[in-house]
A and B are shown apart, each in its own frame.
Chain A
Protein backbone atom coordinates (compact mmCIF):
# COMPACT_ATOMS: atom_id res chain seq x y z
CA UNK A 1 0.00 0.00 0.00
CA UNK A 2 1.18 3.42 -0.85
CA UNK A 3 0.85 5.71 2.07
CA UNK A 4 1.85 9.29 1.62
CA UNK A 5 3.23 10.65 4.82
CA UNK A 6 5.02 13.92 4.81
CA UNK A 7 6.63 15.21 7.89
CA UNK A 8 8.45 18.47 7.64
CA UNK A 9 11.02 18.83 10.25
CA UNK A 10 12.05 22.38 9.58
CA UNK A 11 14.43 23.28 12.28
CA UNK A 12 16.83 26.04 13.00
CA UNK A 13 19.55 24.48 15.01
CA UNK A 14 19.74 26.11 18.37
CA UNK A 15 22.64 24.38 20.00
CA UNK A 16 26.09 25.07 18.64
CA UNK A 17 28.27 22.72 20.61
CA UNK A 18 31.73 23.55 19.39
CA UNK A 19 33.48 25.59 16.79
CA UNK A 20 37.03 24.51 16.08
CA UNK A 21 38.98 26.74 13.74
CA UNK A 22 41.52 25.19 11.44
CA UNK A 23 40.81 21.57 12.07
CA UNK A 24 42.13 19.41 9.26
CA UNK A 25 40.05 17.07 7.13
CA UNK A 26 41.73 15.35 4.20
CA UNK A 27 44.66 17.75 4.40
CA UNK A 28 42.44 20.77 3.98
CA UNK A 29 42.37 23.17 6.96
CA UNK A 30 38.75 23.61 7.92
CA UNK A 31 36.59 25.31 10.49
CA UNK A 32 34.53 22.65 12.17
CA UNK A 33 31.20 23.42 13.81
CA UNK A 34 28.91 20.99 15.59
CA UNK A 35 25.19 21.44 16.05
CA UNK A 36 22.45 19.45 17.75
CA UNK A 37 18.71 19.67 17.45
CA UNK A 38 15.74 17.76 18.78
CA UNK A 39 12.27 17.84 17.33
CA UNK A 40 9.04 16.07 18.10
CA UNK A 41 6.90 13.84 15.90
CA UNK A 42 3.26 13.99 16.93
CA UNK A 43 0.32 11.82 15.92
CA UNK A 44 1.50 10.51 12.58
CA UNK A 45 -1.04 8.07 11.17
CA UNK A 46 -0.36 5.06 8.98
CA UNK A 47 -2.14 1.86 8.05
CA UNK A 48 -0.99 -1.69 8.76
CA UNK A 49 -1.89 -3.30 5.44
CA UNK A 50 -1.92 -6.79 6.94
CA UNK A 51 -4.97 -6.15 9.04
CA UNK A 52 -6.09 -2.69 7.96
CA UNK A 53 -5.47 -1.29 11.37
CA UNK A 54 -4.62 2.35 11.82
CA UNK A 55 -1.44 2.95 13.78
CA UNK A 56 -0.62 6.26 15.40
CA UNK A 57 3.01 7.19 15.91
CA UNK A 58 4.63 9.62 18.28
CA UNK A 59 8.29 10.18 18.94
CA UNK A 60 11.38 12.30 18.56
CA UNK A 61 14.07 13.08 16.05
CA UNK A 62 17.58 13.95 17.23
CA UNK A 63 20.10 15.48 14.85
CA UNK A 64 23.83 15.79 15.28
CA UNK A 65 25.33 17.84 12.49
CA UNK A 66 28.98 18.62 11.86
CA UNK A 67 29.91 21.15 9.21
CA UNK A 68 33.38 21.92 7.95
CA UNK A 69 34.32 24.92 5.83
CA UNK A 70 37.76 25.31 4.34
CA UNK A 71 39.86 28.44 4.54
CA UNK A 72 38.69 30.03 1.30
CA UNK A 73 35.10 28.99 1.88
CA UNK A 74 34.95 26.89 -1.27
CA UNK A 75 34.59 23.43 0.17
CA UNK A 76 31.92 22.49 2.69
CA UNK A 77 31.49 19.16 4.44
CA UNK A 78 28.19 18.08 5.93
CA UNK A 79 28.07 15.13 8.28
CA UNK A 80 24.67 14.32 9.73
CA UNK A 81 23.60 11.67 12.20
CA UNK A 82 19.90 11.46 12.90
CA UNK A 83 18.11 9.21 15.35
CA UNK A 84 14.38 8.70 15.11
CA UNK A 85 12.60 7.10 18.05
CA UNK A 86 8.98 6.15 17.53
CA UNK A 87 6.27 4.57 19.64
CA UNK A 88 3.12 3.43 17.91
CA UNK A 89 -0.23 2.12 18.99
CA UNK A 90 -2.77 0.22 16.93
CA UNK A 91 -6.08 2.00 17.22
CA UNK A 92 -8.10 -1.24 17.14
CA UNK A 93 -5.96 -3.86 18.81
CA UNK A 94 -3.93 -1.43 20.94
CA UNK A 95 -0.82 -3.36 19.99
CA UNK A 96 2.28 -1.26 20.58
CA UNK A 97 5.09 -0.73 18.09
CA UNK A 98 8.57 0.58 18.72
CA UNK A 99 11.32 1.76 16.42
CA UNK A 100 14.76 3.24 16.86
CA UNK A 101 16.24 4.21 13.52
CA UNK A 102 19.61 5.82 12.93
CA UNK A 103 20.76 7.37 9.68
CA UNK A 104 24.20 8.67 8.83
CA UNK A 105 24.97 10.71 5.75
CA UNK A 106 27.99 12.65 4.62
CA UNK A 107 28.10 15.12 1.75
CA UNK A 108 30.63 17.48 0.22
CA UNK A 109 29.74 20.61 -1.77
CA UNK A 110 31.66 23.49 -3.32
CA UNK A 111 31.09 27.21 -3.64
CA UNK A 112 29.11 27.46 -0.42
CA UNK A 113 26.24 25.35 -1.70
CA UNK A 114 23.80 23.66 0.60
CA UNK A 115 23.63 19.90 0.73
CA UNK A 116 20.53 18.78 -1.13
CA UNK A 117 20.08 15.01 -1.16
CA UNK A 118 17.47 12.30 -1.25
CA UNK A 119 18.05 8.84 0.18
CA UNK A 120 15.67 5.94 0.14
CA UNK A 121 15.74 3.87 3.28
CA UNK A 122 13.71 1.42 5.28
CA UNK A 123 13.03 1.00 8.94
CA UNK A 124 11.19 -1.51 11.04
CA UNK A 125 8.47 -0.84 13.57
CA UNK A 126 8.72 -3.83 15.88
CA UNK A 127 5.32 -5.03 17.05
CA UNK A 128 4.57 -6.23 20.53
CA UNK A 129 3.51 -9.87 20.57
CA UNK A 130 2.53 -11.98 17.55
CA UNK A 131 1.42 -9.10 15.32
CA UNK A 132 3.66 -8.64 12.26
CA UNK A 133 6.22 -5.87 12.30
CA UNK A 134 5.64 -2.88 10.05
CA UNK A 135 8.24 -2.00 7.44
CA UNK A 136 8.46 1.56 6.22
CA UNK A 137 10.17 2.41 2.95
CA UNK A 138 10.63 6.11 2.60
CA UNK A 139 12.66 8.70 0.77
CA UNK A 140 14.31 11.22 3.05
CA UNK A 141 14.83 14.57 1.35
CA UNK A 142 17.39 16.51 3.35
CA UNK A 143 18.55 20.06 2.77
CA UNK A 144 21.28 21.45 5.01
CA UNK A 145 22.85 24.86 4.72
CA UNK A 146 26.11 26.15 6.08
CA UNK A 147 24.61 27.89 9.08
CA UNK A 148 23.25 24.60 10.35
CA UNK A 149 19.66 24.78 9.23
CA UNK A 150 18.23 21.36 8.40
CA UNK A 151 15.09 20.63 6.44
CA UNK A 152 13.95 17.02 6.37
CA UNK A 153 10.99 15.81 4.39
CA UNK A 154 9.73 12.25 4.28
CA UNK A 155 8.51 11.50 0.78
CA UNK A 156 6.69 8.61 -0.86
CA UNK A 157 6.42 6.49 2.25
CA UNK A 158 5.26 2.93 1.67
CA UNK A 159 4.18 0.75 4.56
CA UNK A 160 4.09 -3.02 4.44
CA UNK A 161 4.11 -5.76 7.00
CA UNK A 162 6.54 -8.07 5.30
Chain B
Protein backbone atom coordinates (compact mmCIF):
# COMPACT_ATOMS: atom_id res chain seq x y z
CA UNK B 1 0.00 0.00 0.00
CA UNK B 2 1.39 3.36 -0.96
CA UNK B 3 -0.26 5.56 1.51
CA UNK B 4 -1.09 3.98 4.80
CA UNK B 5 -1.57 7.06 6.91
CA UNK B 6 -5.03 7.80 8.08
CA UNK B 7 -6.68 10.67 6.35
CA UNK B 8 -7.40 13.57 8.60
CA UNK B 9 -9.62 16.03 6.89
CA UNK B 10 -8.95 19.70 6.99
CA UNK B 11 -10.86 22.61 5.71
CA UNK B 12 -9.13 24.82 3.29
CA UNK B 13 -9.64 28.13 1.64
CA UNK B 14 -8.02 29.43 -1.47
CA UNK B 15 -7.30 32.94 -0.36
CA UNK B 16 -5.85 34.68 -3.30
CA UNK B 17 -3.74 34.44 -6.32
CA UNK B 18 -1.46 37.37 -5.93
CA UNK B 19 -0.99 39.20 -9.14
CA UNK B 20 2.39 39.05 -10.67
CA UNK B 21 3.82 42.39 -9.85
CA UNK B 22 5.83 43.10 -12.92
CA UNK B 23 8.11 41.73 -15.55
CA UNK B 24 8.01 38.00 -15.42
CA UNK B 25 7.54 37.66 -11.70
CA UNK B 26 5.72 34.38 -11.15
CA UNK B 27 2.35 34.52 -9.49
CA UNK B 28 2.16 33.35 -5.90
CA UNK B 29 -0.89 31.26 -5.07
CA UNK B 30 -1.93 30.96 -1.44
CA UNK B 31 -4.09 28.37 0.25
CA UNK B 32 -4.86 28.06 3.95
CA UNK B 33 -5.60 24.64 5.40
CA UNK B 34 -7.30 24.75 8.76
CA UNK B 35 -6.25 22.26 11.40
CA UNK B 36 -9.34 21.71 13.49
CA UNK B 37 -9.01 19.54 16.60
CA UNK B 38 -6.61 17.08 15.05
CA UNK B 39 -4.92 14.80 17.52
CA UNK B 40 -1.35 13.78 17.98
CA UNK B 41 0.22 11.90 20.85
CA UNK B 42 3.10 13.19 22.92
CA UNK B 43 5.09 9.96 22.81
CA UNK B 44 8.19 11.55 24.28
CA UNK B 45 7.24 12.35 27.86
CA UNK B 46 3.67 12.74 29.02
CA UNK B 47 2.23 10.09 26.73
CA UNK B 48 -0.89 12.16 26.36
CA UNK B 49 -3.09 13.12 23.44
CA UNK B 50 -2.63 16.67 22.23
CA UNK B 51 -5.40 18.40 20.31
CA UNK B 52 -4.06 20.68 17.59
CA UNK B 53 -5.69 23.76 16.10
CA UNK B 54 -4.50 26.45 13.75
CA UNK B 55 -3.57 26.91 10.14
CA UNK B 56 -1.04 25.72 7.64
CA UNK B 57 -0.53 28.27 4.87
CA UNK B 58 0.54 26.87 1.53
CA UNK B 59 1.98 29.20 -1.06
CA UNK B 60 3.44 28.21 -4.36
CA UNK B 61 4.91 29.48 -7.55
CA UNK B 62 5.52 27.67 -10.79
CA UNK B 63 7.87 28.70 -13.56
CA UNK B 64 8.43 27.09 -16.92
CA UNK B 65 11.50 26.91 -19.08
CA UNK B 66 13.00 24.60 -21.67
CA UNK B 67 13.63 21.91 -19.05
CA UNK B 68 10.06 21.81 -17.78
CA UNK B 69 8.00 23.14 -14.92
CA UNK B 70 9.49 24.12 -11.58
CA UNK B 71 7.14 24.05 -8.63
CA UNK B 72 8.17 25.84 -5.44
CA UNK B 73 5.74 25.12 -2.62
CA UNK B 74 6.02 26.52 0.89
CA UNK B 75 4.10 25.35 3.93
CA UNK B 76 4.00 27.47 7.08
CA UNK B 77 2.29 26.18 10.19
CA UNK B 78 0.96 28.17 13.11
CA UNK B 79 -0.54 25.71 15.55
CA UNK B 80 -1.53 25.54 19.17
CA UNK B 81 -2.23 22.40 21.15
CA UNK B 82 -3.73 21.39 24.47
CA UNK B 83 -2.69 18.25 26.31
CA UNK B 84 -5.80 16.24 27.06
CA UNK B 85 -4.44 14.82 30.31
CA UNK B 86 -2.26 17.56 31.76
CA UNK B 87 -3.94 20.59 30.20
CA UNK B 88 -0.51 21.83 29.14
CA UNK B 89 -0.50 24.22 26.19
CA UNK B 90 1.74 23.51 23.21
CA UNK B 91 2.80 25.55 20.22
CA UNK B 92 4.21 24.57 16.84
CA UNK B 93 5.37 27.17 14.34
CA UNK B 94 7.46 26.18 11.35
CA UNK B 95 7.91 26.68 7.64
CA UNK B 96 9.39 24.37 5.04
CA UNK B 97 9.86 24.48 1.29
CA UNK B 98 9.27 21.69 -1.21
CA UNK B 99 10.41 21.99 -4.81
CA UNK B 100 9.87 19.74 -7.78
CA UNK B 101 11.24 19.86 -11.31
CA UNK B 102 9.01 18.05 -13.78
CA UNK B 103 7.69 18.04 -17.32
CA UNK B 104 4.22 17.43 -15.88
CA UNK B 105 1.70 20.26 -15.73
CA UNK B 106 0.61 19.20 -12.26
CA UNK B 107 2.30 17.98 -9.11
CA UNK B 108 1.05 15.35 -6.68
CA UNK B 109 3.30 14.83 -3.70
CA UNK B 110 3.23 13.92 -0.05
CA UNK B 111 5.87 15.56 2.09
CA UNK B 112 6.71 16.04 5.75
CA UNK B 113 6.53 19.19 7.81
CA UNK B 114 8.58 18.89 10.99
CA UNK B 115 8.18 21.45 13.75
CA UNK B 116 9.07 21.73 17.41
CA UNK B 117 6.03 20.89 19.50
CA UNK B 118 6.85 23.00 22.51
CA UNK B 119 5.11 22.66 25.86
CA UNK B 120 4.41 25.92 27.62
CA UNK B 121 7.39 27.04 29.66
CA UNK B 122 9.63 24.23 28.54
CA UNK B 123 12.49 23.76 26.16
CA UNK B 124 11.46 22.13 22.90
CA UNK B 125 12.46 18.50 22.88
CA UNK B 126 9.82 16.93 20.70
CA UNK B 127 9.09 17.15 17.00
CA UNK B 128 5.66 17.20 15.42
CA UNK B 129 5.83 15.35 12.11
CA UNK B 130 2.95 16.10 9.78
CA UNK B 131 2.45 14.37 6.44
CA UNK B 132 1.05 16.85 3.93
CA UNK B 133 -0.58 15.72 0.69
CA UNK B 134 -0.31 18.50 -1.86
CA UNK B 135 -1.53 18.76 -5.43
CA UNK B 136 -0.82 21.81 -7.55
CA UNK B 137 -0.86 22.64 -11.23
CA UNK B 138 0.44 25.27 -13.59
CA UNK B 139 -2.95 27.03 -13.62
CA UNK B 140 -2.90 27.99 -9.96
CA UNK B 141 -5.03 25.23 -8.53
CA UNK B 142 -3.83 23.78 -5.27
CA UNK B 143 -5.23 21.33 -2.75
CA UNK B 144 -3.55 20.38 0.48
CA UNK B 145 -4.42 18.33 3.52
CA UNK B 146 -2.81 16.96 6.63
CA UNK B 147 -2.89 13.19 6.39
CA UNK B 148 -1.16 12.36 9.66
CA UNK B 149 0.19 13.92 12.85
CA UNK B 150 2.94 12.06 14.68
CA UNK B 151 5.65 12.98 17.15
CA UNK B 152 9.32 12.19 17.16
CA UNK B 153 11.71 12.39 20.08
CA UNK B 154 14.94 13.06 18.21
CA UNK B 155 17.59 10.59 19.31
CA UNK B 156 15.25 8.86 21.69
CA UNK B 157 13.28 6.85 19.16
Query: Chain A interface (Cβ within 8 Å of chain B)?
Result: 25, 66, 68, 77, 79, 97-111, 113, 115-126, 133, 139
For A79, the chain B residues whose CB sits under 8 A away are 2-3
For B129, the chain A residues whose CB sits under 8 A away are 102
Of B102, B112, B127, B133, chain A has the most CB atoms within 10 Å of the CB of B102
B57 to chain A, nearest CB (A): 15
Main secondary structure of the interface of A (DSSP, over half): strand
B96 at the A interface (CB under 8 A): yes
Surface stretch bound by A, among B14-22, B24-32, B33-41, B103-111: B103-111
Query: Known contacts A100-B157, A123-B114: does B103 contact A118 (CB below 8 Å)?
Result: no
Quick check: A105 and B109 within 8 Å, CB to CB? yes
Query: Known contacts A98-B155, A113-B103: does B96 contact A121 (CB below 8 Å)?
Result: yes
Query: Known contacts A66-B2, A113-B104, A120-B98: does B110 contact A106 (CB below 8 Å)?
Result: yes
B152 to chain A, nearest CB (A): 7
CA distance A48 to B39 in the complex (A): 34
